[in-house]
Amino acid sequence: MSLTHVKAFGTEAKDKDLQEMTIMRREVQPKDVEIDILYCGVCHSDLHTTRNDWGGTVYPAVPGHEIIGKITKVGSEITKFKVGDLAGVGCLVDSCRECESCKKDLEQYCLNGSTGTYNSQDRYMANQRTYGGYSQTVVVDQDFVLSIPENLDLAATAPLLCAGITTYSPLRHWNVKEGSKVAVIGLGGLGHMAVKLAKGMGAEVTLFSRSPDKIQDALNLGADSVVISTYENEMNAVKGKFDLIIDTVPYDHDVNPYITTLGISGTLVLVGYLGKMEDMLNTVPMILGRKSVAGSVIGGIKETQEMLDFCGEKGITSEIEIIKMQDINEAYGRMLKSDVKYRFVIDMKSLA
Ligand code: NAP
Ligand code: ZN
Ligand code: ZN
């Protein structure tokens, strides 16, 4: 198979800055499309991967899984897209398509291991890793390519491909509807999308934040109220209140104070921190209130399309700060300080 060299931005080691590099993309196969990348959102998972926070990063690593672009080539068997169409790619570019999960449109839970948009073994090329959207182009099987609503701002739509679907999926799974009481922990990329999407579904939304300077923004984004999680009186005031809490905090933290704010049969769903929690779960409020602590990862392709269409109908996009590719290391520094309002999006023209 012939390969194309494209410019990208990635890192050679966990303690190295990201820098320009060249990667290879496969030639377009019968079911593939080639996408010229216009915008790529910056997810905290990109940072975790480049720094090997979760283990398993293979270098060089090129992150980016909130990809929006235009189709420049289509394979001979493409039916869903044509050259010139807008297209999106999220966190997945392939899966086994045969297991029980894949058959239920839950490719994110593929029992044989789905293929991530970056830092995965490529299913087409032996000994090749997948490289993400901090690059000029990407080649993806059409089954993993999303259609983009025409009415939304393109740059502000990119973050829907991860931050959007990661919060939309649990909101749907736990049946959030008109009048549901939903809380979101952390106002970053995922958190601000959770606020907007839950509001779009008709929920009453509360934000838990450590950052008093984000209160006004949260209210402007649609939150009905904000609780500063370090203020005990404010935490006490919402005891027993919520049906669902979406916890987007990226690092280890004590979830017990939040569990007491769940109502009977409520669920706290973790989407942020991946790893062992130091503070043990106190089972008392869980047992005595039939409460659950759950987890959730991104969403399947069908649900991602449903989320994009929902956002198109409701006019929901991300609040973004557009950066150049060359500003990425500084952007990571700000992300570590929770200083993102509320998603960085790279204008990929800056890489050309
Ligand atoms: P982000 O933009 O950096 O936002 C995280 C927010 O969490 C911060 O803005 C901050 O909000 C709060 N926070 C940060 N550090 C904290 C700490 N030590 N204790 C308490 N709160 C803290 O990150 P993101 O892109 O939204 O991603 C959030 C996490 O989700 C990351 O770990 C990412 O890897 C993960 N993720 C998971 C999935 C999935 O499928 N499950 C998908 C995408 C991302 P306040 O200032 O309001 O407190
Ligand atoms: Zn992500
Ligand atoms: Zn599968």
Please return the burial class of 172, using the count of CB atoms within 10 Å of its CB with bins 0-12, 13-18 and 19+. Answer: middle
Question: Which atom of ligand 1 is found nearest the CA of 270?
Answer: 41
Report the pLDDT value the prediction gives residue 42, as an integer from 0 to 100: 98
Question: Which atom of ligand 1 is found nearest the CA of 250?
Answer: 32
Q: Is the CB of 214 under 6 A from ligand 1?
A: yes
Q: How far apart are CA 164 and CA 91, in angstroms?
A: 11
Residue with tokens 């894949």: 102
Low-confidence ranges of the chain (pLDDT < 50): none
Q: Is the CB of 335 under 6 A from ligand 1?
A: yes
Per-residue pLDDT reduced to its tens digit, 154-172: 999 999 999 999 999 999 9
Q: How far apart are CA 63 and CA 45, in angstroms?
A: 9
Q: Is the CB of 41 under 6 A from ligand 1?
A: no
Pocket probe for ligand 1: among 44, 169, 298, 345, the residue whose CB has the most ligand atoms within 8 Å is: 44
Nearest CA to ligand 1 atom 34: 45
Report the pLDDT value the prediction gives residue 12, as an integer from 0 to 100: 98
Report the pLDDT value the prediction gives residue 89, as an integer from 0 to 100: 98
Q: How far is the CA of 76 from the centre of ligand 2 (A)?
A: 31
Report the pLDDT value the prediction gives residue 291, as an integer from 0 to 100: 98
Report the pLDDT value the prediction gives residue 1, as an integer from 0 to 100: 81
Query: How is residue 27 annotated by DSSP?
Result: P
Q: How far is the CA of 28 from the centre of ligand 1 (A)?
A: 35
Question: Which atom of ligand 1 is found nearest the CA of 163?
Answer: 43
- Is residue 114 within 8 Å of residue 94, measured between CB atoms? yes
Maximum Cα–Cα distance across the chain: 63
Q: Which ligand lies nearest to the CA atom of residue 275 in the structure? A: 1
Report the pLDDT value the prediction gives residue 155, as an integer from 0 to 100: 98
Nearest CA to ligand 1 atom 30: 272
Alpha-helical (H) ranges within 38-78 are 44-50
Report the pLDDT value the prediction gives residue 304, as an integer from 0 to 100: 98
Tokens of 338: 């929770």
Q: How far is the CA of 327 from the centre of ligand 3 (A)?
A: 37
Residue with tokens 């969403």: 299
Per-residue pLDDT reduced to its tens digit, 207-260: 999 999 999 999 999 999 999 999 999 999 999 999 999 999 999 999 999 999
Please return the burial class of 216, using the count of CB atoms within 10 Å of its CB with bins 0-12, 13-18 and 19+. Answer: exposed
Average pLDDT, the chain: 97
Question: Which atom of ligand 1 is found nearest the CA of 249?
Answer: 7
Q: Is the CB of 336 under 6 A from ligand 1?
A: no
Q: How far is the CA of 248 from the centre of ligand 2 (A)?
A: 11
Ordered by where they begin, the domains of the chain are 3-161+319-351 (3.90.180.10), 163-295 (3.40.50.720)
Q: How far is the CA of 164 from the centre of ligand 1 (A)?
A: 13
Report the pLDDT value the prediction gives residue 127, as an integer from 0 to 100: 87
